[in-house]
């Protein structure tokens, strides 16, 4: 845990020192380009690498009634029979975290009684984090588009509708910090989760907190020169990078942590974003008896044949009056 | 076998989490926690790699000299063959949603029984050998070196997973521990490490056609013996066909149903049902096993044992296969069989019930129908005369077997059947049934007596839910659709909910079944008096 925290603090310091000692071009221009390339290249490589391994068996985890008799109502999404149902199941999984929504927690009470409680906090905060992050991501397009499309202004208006402070406080900023805080607190205070957590579980949390924190600091407190930042970001997207004067250090810390996140992403557990689409227990229909699934490496059949079986037990079978393919006489004559 | 603690003591001894990190703790191979090793002769006869003498409680497991290479190459080839494994090794975020979903974790409190850590046991080795971060950062990146203690740990924990997939249901990415356990067990088998309780049935099934090693003549004798019991109860003499060609259907069920109490009553139930509806079927002694313990060793072994079903249907010229009540059998049949050994023999046809005309389109390719589907259809079409009052002394609940629940989705068919043959039916609490059902504690070949304490610990959630409905609703009967359940649930019920009896679903069907020409029923299939039906 501490190692991950120290690592993120160290990254922040590097960016701050770098910005202060003349490496602004490196941090503001070169690294972002490199990070984007690593992110795209790495993401594609990981997906292709996974996809190279075949899916030998169709093994959906069925979360409800199968389709069998006409009068029994199947669970079309939790146990999909069709492609459409499977797409629906995946959409529920990816957009609404269906499986996590099922979450319960168990407790053994006196009696003994094993009791199950609904436990949707993880679902709620996980969903909150992902959607806030998405919203913040979308909001950032204001720095890459000129003129800023109306849809973006509208999102910003809604996000800041509480009208607190100047500049207006975005709800997504508050919520994303709260959600990350919850996810971190769970790792620290839940015995089970703390026990399984690795440094590479804490690191992305701290990195994201650093990224979000530096963004908030820059917007609400340091109040960096937004116009200058936009000159830089527009330069980046138009492949015509320029480095305007007078952008505060906060911005360089922010963009450096973002670069780190992008470069780290494909090689970390954050790849669950792509991997979930390839999970064979979710992305396949429950129709294996109706439609044959082909295994590309299916080995040849090798089994003990009936003839071998009868050869061993023929006499016993005949004595018991069981039908045989070859009688003892026929078998003897064949030898 | 070590002595079982009392239920209260068992719960009181669920330990707190250890202080040390999980990489620094080692399993303690106490008696009652590990399964006996497979016999060398059985391993040899089946052509399994590196058969050798070893035992889990010894310091040296006599691993083959190049064991590290075997594991490295074995893992590498499986990563290339199974996208599931590769994705599941990489995308876990350790959110912990799976942690308390595992019956073994709930009952043992052992953190390595949390599905996420069970997977990390393999993942840590994967990271070290197959990821750059793991190679560079080692333990910091959750990687660790493979050593002999890791192999022991794998053996301990991958044989404390019943491949029930409950964790997979709750995982936001669908990470399936059954898949990871199955592959880890494959790797262990490559080192010659298998367990007797699985390998013996596999050996038997290959040779005699069934797990129990019943030879053809004995199989016929046992079934005929059961038919005599049917005659005692109903006055009707049934002569089931064996290995006969030209029948429309081959019927295949786990051999446990032929052999072991209370499965035999379920088997009698099938025979009575088929007789009553005049089904054109045959039994087979060659394919006399529906279950597939091969699926607890390697995918190839599962395929090898399963191949007999289609081979026999083809030899006998049958149009389709009807399958009896079994859990892992149906995981294999529903999700693997057609892929393993299909396409089906050319003369097989899409299953169609000869009684109701219903076409089982859901089994159009595999051409194998579950008996609960078949019977539910019969009842829906009013083809059975039923007197559910014969089961009135029973208050019935239903245990969803893990495999039909989460590897098939067979949930409402057995309930429909039960509710038509029993007047008193209640379900257990919702977090313990249907797709959220809990394992009996002995699935995936762990129904062996030497680990009875582990089984009872794993059976805690199921047993406790049963006790809940026993106390609240007076449940005295647990119905199931699985031969392993019929072996594992009676001791579980005795331990956690004494007074509840375990029945196969088709035993209850047959008790209620009014057969043409039958004598007045005064006894159930177990030849116990039917209350209220005594001679009046």
Closest approach of B457 to chain A, Cα-based (Å): 12
Distance CA A15, CA A156 (A): 28
Across the A/B interface, how many CB contacts are shorter than 8 Å?
A: 321
Distance CA A13, CA A2 (A): 16
Contact A282 B373 (CB under 8 A): no
- By residue range, what is the domain housing residue B121? 7-30+49-193
Q: Are A34 and A263 in contact (CB under 8 A)?
A: yes
- Residue B152, phi-psi category: left (phi > 0), alpha (psi -120 to 50), beta (remainder): alpha
Distance CA A81, CA A245 (A): 60
Distance CA B56, CA B33 (A): 10
Contact A63 B361 (CB under 8 A): no
Backbone torsions φ then ψ of A167, nearest 5 degrees: -65, 160
Nearest CA in chain B to A92: B172
Give this complex's ipTM.
Answer: 0.95
Residue B520 falls inside a structural domain: no
Residues B86 and B180 in one domain: yes
Residues B349 and B219 in one domain: yes
Measured between beta carbons, the chain A residues lying within 8 angstroms of B428 are none
Task: Measure Cα distances from A271 to A111, A177, A268 in Å.
Answer: 44, 21, 6
Residue B37 falls inside a structural domain: no
Number of domains in chain A: 2
Nearest CA in chain B to A57: B336
Per-residue pLDDT of chain B (536 residues; tens, 9 = 90+): 468 999 999 999 999 999 999 999 999 999 999 999 999 999 999 999 999 999 999 999 999 999 999 999 999 999 999 999 999 999 999 999 999 999 999 999 999 999 999 999 999 999 999 999 999 999 989 999 999 999 999 999 999 999 999 999 999 999 999 999 999 999 999 999 999 999 999 999 999 999 999 999 999 999 999 999 999 999 999 999 999 999 999 999 999 999 899 999 999 999 999 999 999 999 999 999 999 999 999 999 999 999 999 999 999 999 999 999 999 999 999 999 999 999 999 999 999 999 999 999 999 999 999 999 999 999 999 999 999 999 999 999 999 999 999 999 999 999 999 999 999 999 999 999 999 999 999 999 999 999 999 999 999 999 999 999 999 999 999 999 999 999 999 999 999 999 999 999 999 999 999 999 999 999 999 999 998 877 65
Residues B131 and B274 in one domain: no
Helix (H, G, I), strand (E, B) or coil at A240: coil
Does any CB of chain B come closer than 8 Å to the CB of residue A62?
yes
Burial of B520 (0-12, 13-18, 19+ CB in 10 A): exposed
Closest alpha carbon to B433 in B456, B454, B460, B461? B461
Residues B430 and B478 in one domain: yes
Find which of B9, B87, B410 to mutate to test the A interface (most A CBs within 10 Å of its CB). Answer: B87
Sequence-distant (≥ 6) Cβ neighbours of residue A177 within 8 angstroms:
A209, A212, A213, A216
Q: Are B195 and B447 in contact (CB under 8 A)?
A: no
Q: In the 8-state DSSP scheme, what is residue B323?
A: E
Residue B412 falls inside a structural domain: yes
Domain boundary among the residues B193, B220, B252 is at: B193
Measured between beta carbons, the chain A residues lying within 8 angstroms of B120 are 196
Closest alpha carbon to B483 in B227, B297, B257? B257
Residues B165 and B258 in one domain: no
Residues A249 and A330 in one domain: no
Reported as a single tens digit per residue, the pLDDT across A254-305 is 999 999 999 999 999 999 999 999 999 999 999 999 999 999 999 999 999 9
Reported as a single tens digit per residue, the pLDDT across A132-168 is 999 999 999 999 998 999 999 999 999 998 888 888 8
pLDDT at B535: 60
Closest alpha carbon to B373 in B331, B415, B312? B415
Backbone torsions φ then ψ of B398, nearest 5 degrees: -125, 130
Residue B40 falls inside a structural domain: no
Pairing of strands A104-109, A113-118: antiparallel
Torsion of CA A136, A141, A144, A147, to 10 degrees: -140
Sequence-distant (≥ 6) Cβ neighbours of residue B70 within 8 angstroms:
B49, B50, B64, B190, B191
CA atoms within 13 A on the CB side of B468: 19
Find which of A1, A53, A57, A68 to mutate to test the B interface (most B CBs within 10 Å of its CB). Answer: A68
Torsion of CA A121, A122, A126, A132, to 10 degrees: 20
Closest approach of B390 to chain A, Cα-based (Å): 26
Residues B185 and B210 in one domain: no
Q: Are B301 and B186 in contact (CB under 8 A)?
A: no
Closest approach of B108 to chain A, Cα-based (Å): 12
Nearest CA in chain A to B313: A306
To the nearest whole number, what is the mean pLDDT of chain A?
95
Helix (H, G, I), strand (E, B) or coil at B352: strand
Residues B311 and B388 in one domain: yes
Residue B377 falls inside a structural domain: yes
Residue A232 falls inside a structural domain: yes
Nearest CA in chain B to A195: B21
Question: What's A90's domain CATH number?
Answer: 1.20.950.20
E strand residue ranges, B434-529:
477-480, 501-504
Q: Both tokens of residue A97?
A: 């975290």
Does any CB of chain B come closer than 8 Å to the CB of residue A316?
yes
Kindly give the interhelix angle for B177-190 and B67-81, rounded to the nearest 10 degrees.
140
Q: Are B306 and B340 in contact (CB under 8 A)?
A: yes
Helix (H, G, I), strand (E, B) or coil at B195: strand
Number of domains in chain B: 2
pLDDT at B536: 52
Residue A291 falls inside a structural domain: no
Contact B220 A322 (CB under 8 A): yes
Count other C-beta atoms under 10 Å from residue B228's C-beta. 11
Residues A55 and A187 in one domain: yes
Contact A106 B106 (CB under 8 A): yes
Residue A294 falls inside a structural domain: no
Burial of A321 (0-12, 13-18, 19+ CB in 10 A): exposed
Q: In the 8-state DSSP scheme, what is residue B229?
A: H
Residue B1 falls inside a structural domain: no
First to last CA, chain A: 75
Contact A61 B140 (CB under 8 A): no
Residues A226 and A94 in one domain: yes
Closest approach of B134 to chain A, Cα-based (Å): 11
Measured between beta carbons, the chain B residues lying within 8 angstroms of A74 are 409
Radius of gyration of chain B (CA): 23
Residues A37 and A168 in one domain: yes
Residues A274 and A170 in one domain: yes
Residues B278 and B414 in one domain: yes
Distance CA B523, CA B536 (A): 13
How would DSSP label each residue in A36-81?
A: HHHHHHHHHHHHHHHHHS---S------SPPS-STTSPP-TTTS--
Residues A122 and A172 in one domain: yes
First to last CA, chain B: 48
Cis peptide upstream of residue A11 (ω within 30 degrees of 0): no
Length of chain B: 536
Distance CA B155, CA B167 (A): 20
Helix (H, G, I), strand (E, B) or coil at B353: coil
Find which of A45, A49, A59, A127 to mutate to test the B interface (most B CBs within 10 Å of its CB). Answer: A59
Residue A86 falls inside a structural domain: yes
Residues A239 and A309 in one domain: no
Q: Are B62 and B53 in contact (CB under 8 A)?
A: yes
Distance CA B88, CA B115 (A): 12
Contact B90 A275 (CB under 8 A): yes
Nearest to A65 among B96, B311, B409 (CB): B409
Residue A268 falls inside a structural domain: yes
Specify the DSSP element, H or E, that contains B120: helix B115-130
Reported as a single tens digit per residue, the pLDDT across A107-137 is 999 889 999 999 999 999 999 999 999 999 9
Closest alpha carbon to B70 in B185, B188, B161? B188
Residues B112 and B212 in one domain: no
Nearest CA in chain A to B224: A320
Buried b (16+ CB within 10 A) or exposed e, B48-84: bebbeebebeeeebebeeebbebbbebbeebbebbbb
Nearest CA in chain B to A288: B335
Distance CA B485, CA B489 (A): 5
Closest alpha carbon to B348 in B371, B370, B324, B320? B320
Helix (H, G, I), strand (E, B) or coil at B442: coil
Residues B210 and B254 in one domain: yes
Q: Both tokens of residue A45?
A: 């490589």
Residues A160 and A268 in one domain: yes
Q: Both tokens of residue A192?
A: 């089970």
- By residue range, what is the domain housing residue A172? 2-278
Contact A323 B244 (CB under 8 A): yes
Residue A109 falls inside a structural domain: yes
Distance CA A157, CA A141 (A): 15
Measured between beta carbons, the chain B residues lying within 8 angstroms of A100 are 95, 97, 170, 172
Residue B499 falls inside a structural domain: yes
Residue A289 falls inside a structural domain: no
Residue A266 falls inside a structural domain: yes
Residue B151 falls inside a structural domain: yes
Residues B269 and B128 in one domain: no
Closest approach of B311 to chain A, Cα-based (Å): 8
Contact B365 A186 (CB under 8 A): no
Sequence-distant (≥ 6) Cβ neighbours of residue A78 within 8 angstroms:
A62, A63, A64, A89, A98, B435
Residues B363 and B400 in one domain: yes
Domain boundary among the residues B173, B193, B213 is at: B193
Distance CA A269, CA B158 (A): 24
Residues A40 and A167 in one domain: yes
Distance CA B521, CA B536 (A): 12
Residues A255 and A140 in one domain: yes
Closest alpha carbon to B43 in B182, B198, B204, B199? B199
Closest approach of B525 to chain A, Cα-based (Å): 26
């Amino acid at each position: 845990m501490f190692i991950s925290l120290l690592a993120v603090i160290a990254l922040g310091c590097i960016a701050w020192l770098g910005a202060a000692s003349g490496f602004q071009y490196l941090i503001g221009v070169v690294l972002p380009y490199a990070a984007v390339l690593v992110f795209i290249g790495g993401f594609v490589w990981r997906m292709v690498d996974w996809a190279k391994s075949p899916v030998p068996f169709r093994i959906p985890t069925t979360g409800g009634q199968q389709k069998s008799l006409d009068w029994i109502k199947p669970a079309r999404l939790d146990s999909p029979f069709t492609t459409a149902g499977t797409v629906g199941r995946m959409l529920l999984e990816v957009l609404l975290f269906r499986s996590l929504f099922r979450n319960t927690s168990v407790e053994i009470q006196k009696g003994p009684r094993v009791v199950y409680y609904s436990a949707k906090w993880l679902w709620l905060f996980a969903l909150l984090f992902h959607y806030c992050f998405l919203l913040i991501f979308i909001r950032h397009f204001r720095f890459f588009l000129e003129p800023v499309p109306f849809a973006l202004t509208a999102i910003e208006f809604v996000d800041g509708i509480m009208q607190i402070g100047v500049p207006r406080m975005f709800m997504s900023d508050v919520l994303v910090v709260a959600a990350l805080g919850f996810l971190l607190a769970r790792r620290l205070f839940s015995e089970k989760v703390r026990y399984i957590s690795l440094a590479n579980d804490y690191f992305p949390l701290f990195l994201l907190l650093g990224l979000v924190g530096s963004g908030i600091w820059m917007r609400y407190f340091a109040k960096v020169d937004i116009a200058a930042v936009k000159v830089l970001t527009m330069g980046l997207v138009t492949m015509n990078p320029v480095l305007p004067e007078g952008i505060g250090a906060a911005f360089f810390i922010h963009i450096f942590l973002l670069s780190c996140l992008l470069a780290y992403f494909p090689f970390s557990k954050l790849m669950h974003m792509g991997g979930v689409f390839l999970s064979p227990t979710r992305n396949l229909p429950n129709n294996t008896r109706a439609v044959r699934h082909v295994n590309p490496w299916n080995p040849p059949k090798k089994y003990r044949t009936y003839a071998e079986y009868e050869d061993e037990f023929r006499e016993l079978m005949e004595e018991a009056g069981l039908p045989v393919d070859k009688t003892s006489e026929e078998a003897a004559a064949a030898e | 076998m070590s002595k079982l603690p009392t239920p209260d003591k068992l719960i009181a001894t669920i330990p707190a989490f250890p202080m040390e990190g999980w990489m620094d703790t080692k399993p303690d191979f106490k008696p009652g926690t590990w399964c006996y090793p497979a016999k060398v002769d059985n391993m040899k006869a089946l052509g399994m790699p590196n058969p050798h003498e070893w035992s889990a409680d010894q310091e040296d497991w006599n691993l083959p000299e190049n064991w590290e290479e075997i594991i490295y190459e074995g893992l590498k080839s499986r990563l290339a063959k199974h996208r599931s494994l590769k994705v599941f090794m990489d995308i876990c975020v350790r959110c912990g949603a799976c942690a308390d979903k595992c019956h073994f974790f709930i009952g043992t409190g052992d953190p390595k029984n949390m599905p996420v850590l069970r997977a990390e046991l393999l993942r840590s080795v994967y990271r070290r050998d197959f990821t750059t971060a793991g190679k560079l950062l080692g333990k910091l990146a959750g990687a660790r070196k493979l050593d002999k203690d890791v192999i022991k740990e794998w053996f301990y924990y991958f044989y404390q997973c019943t491949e029930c997939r409950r964790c997979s249901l709750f995982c936001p990415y669908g990470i399936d521990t059954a898949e990871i356990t199955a592959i880890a067990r494959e790797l262990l088998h490559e080192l010659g490490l298998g367990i007797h309780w699985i390998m013996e049935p596999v050996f038997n099934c290959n040779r005699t056609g069934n797990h129990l090693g019943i030879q053809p003549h004995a199989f016929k004798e046992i079934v005929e013996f059961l038919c005599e019991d049917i005659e005692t109860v109903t006055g009707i003499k049934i002569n089931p066909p064996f290995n006969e060609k030209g029948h429309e259907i081959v019927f295949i069920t786990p051999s446990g149903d032929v052999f072991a109490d209370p499965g035999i009553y379920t088997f009698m139930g099938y025979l009575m049902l088929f007789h009553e509806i005049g089904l054109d079927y045959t039994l087979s002694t060659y394919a006399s096993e529906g279950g597939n313990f091969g699926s607890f060793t390697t995918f190839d072994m599962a395929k090898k044992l399963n191949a007999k079903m289609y081979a026999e249907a083809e030899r006998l010229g049958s149009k389709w296969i009807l399958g009896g009540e079994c859990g892992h059998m149906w995981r294999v049949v529903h999700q693997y069989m057609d892929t393993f050994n299909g396409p089906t023999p050319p003369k097989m046809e899409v299953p169609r019930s000869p009684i109701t005309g219903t076409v089982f389109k859901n089994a159009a390719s595999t051409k194998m129908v579950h008996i609960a589907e078949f019977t539910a259809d019969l009842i829906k079409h009013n083809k059975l005369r039923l007197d559910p009052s014969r089961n009135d002394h029973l208050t019935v609940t239903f245990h969803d077997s893990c495999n039909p629940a989460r590897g098939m989705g067979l949930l409402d068919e057995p309930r429909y059947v039960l509710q038509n043959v029993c007047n008193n039916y209640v379900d257990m609490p919702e977090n313990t049934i249907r797709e959220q059902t809990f394992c009996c504690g002995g699935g995936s070949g762990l129904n062996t007596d030497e680990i009875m304490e582990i089984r009872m610990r794993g059976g805690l959630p199921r047993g406790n839910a049963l006790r809940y409905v026993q106390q609240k609703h007076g449940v005295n009967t647990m119905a199931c659709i699985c031969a392993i359940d019929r072996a594992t649930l009676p001791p579980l019920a005795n331990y956690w909910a004494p007074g509840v009896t375990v029945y196969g679903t088709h035993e209850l069907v047959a008790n209620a079944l009014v057969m043409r020409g039958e004598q007045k029923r005064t006894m159930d299939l177990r030849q116990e008096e039917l209350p209220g039906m005594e001679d009046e």
